[in-house]
Structure formats: C-alpha cells, structure tokens
Amino acid sequence: MKTTQDTEVLIVGAGPAGLMLANILGMYGKQVTVLEAMDTLIDYPRGVGLDDESFRTIQTVGLVDAIRPHTNPQHIMRLVNGAGKVMLVNNPQTVEFGWERKHGFIQPEADKALYEGLSRFGNVQVLFGYRVENVEEDGQSVTAIALVSRPDGTIEERRFSAQYLVGCEGGKSPTRKRLGVSFEGESPSTRWLVVDVNNDPLGTPNVFLGADPKRPYVSIGLPHAVRRWEFMLHDDETEEQVTDPDYVNALLADHVPNPAELDFIRRRVFTHHGRVASDFRKGRQLIAGDAAHLMPVWMGQGWNSGMRDATNLGWKLAAVLSGQADDALLDTYTSERKDHAQAMVDLSLTFGRLIKITNPVGAVLRDAASSVLNLFPQVKSYFADMRFKPMPRYTRGVLADPNTRESGSAAAKLTSKLIPVLTANVKNSPVGVQFPQPRVNSRDASDQLLDDAIGNWWSVIVWGNSPKDVLPQSSLDKLSLLGARLVAVVPETQREWAQKHMDPDVMVLGDHTGRLKKWFDDRPTPLVFLRPDRFVAGACLTQHAPETLDAILAAMKFTPAGAVTDAVAVPVAL
C-alpha cells in the first residue's frame, strides 16, 4: 500500500530560493519538506552578485557568519569601452539596510550554507533524488507524487501531502507549467561563453563590463581567487567550437599572458532570458525564484530576486499556517513581487543592450555620450551610487495608505495638508518600502543592528515615545494578538531614563548614530508598523494609528483567533 508523508509546506527544488524559504519557514517553526531531483546541490559557480537586501534576509535567518566568508563586499563595477577607457563606475557607498549594497560571492558556497543551516530545524527535511512527476490538489491540500531510485536500481513512487506547494525548480519549472500561467518576455538570441578559473591571474577584486564592439565581455573578480570571464559569441560560432580549449585560450589572449596555464573550472555557453510569470500563485501551488522570473545577468539580480521572493512569501505562509491570516493573504505575494521582478528584468535587458553594441558607429556615439554625461556630478553620482536600480515599492498588498488609511494600497506620495507634511523634507511615502537598518543600543546589547534587536515578526516603532502611551487599549489588544513587538526609539541620551519610566513590555532603543532621528525628522510619520520582511505596512501620525492598524489588519486578512505563538520564533545561529 502506498503511504503518504504529511508536511505543512512542500518545496520542490533545492536551489537558493527554495533553501531560503525553507530556512524562513523553519525559523517560524513550520514543517517543511524539500524535494530535489538531483542527488546533490549544484557545485559549479552560477550567480556572482549578492546585494544588501539579500544579506538582510540572511541576517534574519541567522546565517551571516556562514555566508560572509564567501563574499567580496563593496563589489565595484566599471564599464569600459573597447580601448579600456572607463565610461562609468558603479560603487555605491550606502549601508542603508545594514550591509554593503553590493557583494561578489561564490554561489555554491552560499547555497551550501543555506542547506546546512536547515540542520538547525527538526521540522525541516531535504530529500535528494526525488523527482516530482505529478501533483494532485483539492480544496484542503496538495499532494506531490515523486519517483526515487532504490539501492537495488528499482524506482519507487512516494507521495507527499502538504497544505501548500512552492515550485522553485528553475526556469523550466514544471510547477509553473502545471499552473498554466504565461511566462512573458524575451530570450535574446545572443549567446555567451562563461569561463571560470581558479587562482585568479588578474587579482583585481572587482568587475569590468567590456563594451568592446569587436566582442563585448565581462571580467569579474570573485572570492577565493575565482575569476569569471564572459564573452559574447558571434552567430557563426558553434558551442562545440567555442568550448574547445584552444579557442577559449585565443579569447583569453588579450586578458592574460598565457591562458594555457590557467586552472579552469568550467567553460559553458548560455543565453540570457528576460521573462516574468503572469501569476505567482494558483490555488495551493506557488512559484518562486527562476520559476517565477528569469533575468539577464547584467545587474546580478537573479539570485537576489529569488531571495526577495522567499522573504516576501515566508512570513505570509507562516501567518496563514498559524491561523493568523486567511489564505487570501497569499494573493498579495504576486501583487507585491511581480512588478518589481519585471522592473529588474527590464533594467537588466536595457543595460545589456548598452553593452552589446557591436556597430562601430553606435559604439562611438555611446562612448561620446558617456564622456559628456560624466561631466555632470549628479549624473555621475546617479550611476556611482546605483540610484538607477529600482528599489522595491509595494503599492498594493499588506499596506495602509498614509493619506487616506485605505486598506490594501498605498500612494507613493504624501498629500496631506497638515503642516508636518507640508514642511517635510521627504514627500515620498515610507509605506511600501523597506525600513532602514541602522545600529542601535538596548538594555541587552550595544551597537547592534536594528533587526537583531526587534526580532523577526511584526513591530510597532514610535519615535520619542512609548507605543503604550499613544495607542488605545483596543489597538494594543490587536497588536498583542498579532504578536507585534512594541518599540520606542529615543536619542541615546534619553535611553536610560526611558527604560526606567516606560512600560517594561516596551523595548527601548537608543539611536546613538542619529540615523533614525534623521529618518523621522525627514518624514511626518512618527509611528511605523513594520512587517516581518522589514517593509513598512503603515506610517502615520499617532492620532491616525488606530485607523491605520485596522486597515493593515484588513489587508492582511487577519484572523484574531490565530495562535500567535505558532507564528513567531527566534532564529538559531550556526
């Protein structure tokens, strides 16, 4: 008789998005089974860029110490023309979210750390060699039928039942195909040869994008002395031809004195894709990572976009599974993530077109334009600080509009006629964007990152005052059911006084860097409702707080009968 193994969430694919989602759900105490068709994790280099948003998620699940050794922080990118002249530099200095904006990294090592991190959770298992052949779904559950090879060579069928299934199997995702959603976009015909070597013969620790009209290329310095080159291929060059060692050595001859002496890791041809699924969820099945979107490599956002998916989806699944929220909360996963994934795909495609110009006249015009633009400090800073990268801003989802307190949407601008709004330095609404992560002092720790202080679930942050002093009891009762932490942020000079005089249930944080003071000084929103994924669900004047909270709970499909303790857990460090 065939037996069925039960779990809460079934993740298909042990790639980065699936492994991070499993870590987040494991942290929240949820039962997870990961099924991977391969026998092991992929061990060759793929993605090479890791950003600050991803590192913030890595911090949340307690894996910074495991992944940090495999990164190059402050990874500088230089766009150079065919003569080697630098046309623009991308070197953002911000640490707005607590970490450097850009890192080079070794993906196999990072993925391995995500996998090994799952050993902390007795409620999570990863099964290799399990190929999902079919999925059955009804109104209460979803069941995956998987095939696995037995030691005697026979094939065994295994069944796994869960409340939800998340497909993280990559660009050819069978889950996405089962859902019947479109995968819209383009796959440019341009092919590229990737060459990875050990014992980096150049030693430059950053990135060169070579906009050479004769043959565009990329040269990337990575941790552990790994060097990557990528060369654009001409239409008449076959894959067999360009992966031949002698041919590769000829391509590398302009970059190193003696290519034949290099320690090669791999030579592989690939094609860029720019596609986004029309929907990330149908019924009890969802998709994440490359299964939901594929993007060209130019902005280094493929791995990071998968991390954003896991960060957005993880807490929502935890809330639904714990009974805190209705199943409809999961619909906000698509409404919040799809537009930003599309924006990153579009930007990557545009950047690629700039680099891939092979027409000599077009290349000259591009180079001349870049020289002129670099004369303007604001334009130069626009590229250097990476302000061209669209940061996620949710306008629909688990939000409350700061102007109208409307539930489920948020305008990008503050439009109130109150004097605090009219005199604000920043007119952009903080709702729907990530809250910054400066360092703070608390009763228990000094100079710690904000997220480490406030924990991994909902928080209410008030500048200069106690949430218990500005919120009515009815709102405090709802926040208690939500499991939200009450936080007061004060200048460091006031912290000890506040700790003595404020309610002991309120966490008092000292702003010793002044960064939080500036954030609140620029915005007329002294009270912030912060989601588990560190996005601002609501920000308002304290008198608008009860109405704002009710709008957020409605957008979340909050069910007060849910068990708070099931949804909240503290991550276990390696």
The letter for the amino acid at 164 is Y
Dist CA 342 CA 348 (whole Å): 10
Dist CA 11 CA 19 (whole Å): 9
pLDDT of the residue at 255 = 94
pLDDT of the residue at 574 = 43
pLDDT of the residue at 153 = 81
Dist CA 134 CA 517 (whole Å): 54
In this structure, which long-range contacts are made by residues 423-428, counting pairs with CB atoms below 8 Å and at least 24 apart in sequence?
423/524, 424/522, 424/523, 424/524, 425/521, 425/522, 425/523, 426/522, 426/523
Question: Is the pLDDT reported for residue 553 higher than 60?
Answer: yes
The predicted-structure confidence for 51-74, as pLDDT tens digits, reads as follows: 999 999 999 999 999 999 999 999
Confidence bin at 151 (pLDDT 50/70/90): confident
Lowest-confidence pick of 165-179, 419-433, 435-449: 419-433
Domain 4-64+104-182+276-335 sits in CATH 3.50.50.60:
yes
441: which residues sit within 8 A by CB, 6+ positions away? 447, 448, 492, 495, 509, 510, 512
Using a 10 angstrom Cβ sphere, with 0-12 exposed, 13-18 middle and 19 or more buried, the burial of residue 7 is buried
Confidence bin at 24 (pLDDT 50/70/90): very high
In this chain, the answer to whether the domains covering 4-64+104-182+276-335 and 191-271 adopt an identical fold is no
Q: State pTM to two decimals.
A: 0.91
Angstrom CA distances, 293 to 17, 304, 391, stand at 12, 12, 17
E strand spans, 380-440: 396-400, 407-409, 439-440
Q: Residue 180: left (phi > 0), alpha (psi -120 to 50), or beta?
A: left
The predicted-structure confidence for 192-227, as pLDDT tens digits, reads as follows: 899 999 999 999 999 998 888 888 899 999 999 999
pLDDT of the residue at 298 = 62
Percent with pLDDT over 90 in the chain: 73
Confidence bin at 384 (pLDDT 50/70/90): very low
Angstrom CA distances, 444 to 239, 389, 437, 447, 508, stand at 59, 37, 18, 10, 10
Question: Is the pLDDT reported for residue 572 higher than 60?
Answer: no
| Highest mean pLDDT of the ranges 179-188, 230-239, 432-441, 565-574 | 432-441
Dist CA 538 CA 560 (whole Å): 19
Structure tokens at 194: 């990737």
Confidence bin at 10 (pLDDT 50/70/90): very high
Percent with pLDDT over 70 in the chain: 89
Question: Is the pLDDT reported for residue 286 higher than 50?
Answer: yes
Mean pLDDT of the chain: 89
Q: Does residue 323 contact residue 566 with C-beta atoms inside 8 Å?
A: yes
Beta bridge partners of 298: none
Angstrom CA distances, 436 to 57, 190, 260, 398, 433, stand at 13, 39, 48, 19, 9
Question: Is the pLDDT reported for residue 456 higher than 90?
Answer: yes
The letter for the amino acid at 571 is P
Question: Is the pLDDT reported for residue 32 higher than 70?
Answer: yes
pLDDT of the residue at 478 = 97
Question: Is the pLDDT reported for residue 4 higher than 90?
Answer: no
The predicted-structure confidence for 229-269, as pLDDT tens digits, reads as follows: 999 898 899 999 999 999 999 999 999 999 999 999 999 99
pLDDT of the residue at 85 = 85
Question: Is the pLDDT reported for residue 115 higher than 50?
Answer: yes
Kindly report the CATH number that applies to the domain delimited by 191-271.
3.30.70
Average pLDDT over residues 370-398: 62
Average pLDDT over residues 388-407: 88
Q: pLDDT: is 23 or 349 the higher one?
A: 23
pLDDT of the residue at 372 = 45
Q: Domain ranges in the chain?
A: 4-64+104-182+276-335, 191-271, 396-567
Confidence bin at 354 (pLDDT 50/70/90): low
Question: Is the pLDDT reported for residue 94 higher than 70?
Answer: yes
pLDDT of the residue at 377 = 55
C-alpha torsion sign, points 438, 441, 446, 451: negative
Q: Which CATH class is domain 396-567?
A: alpha beta
Q: pLDDT: is 552 or 346 the higher one?
A: 552
Q: How many residues does the chain have?
A: 574
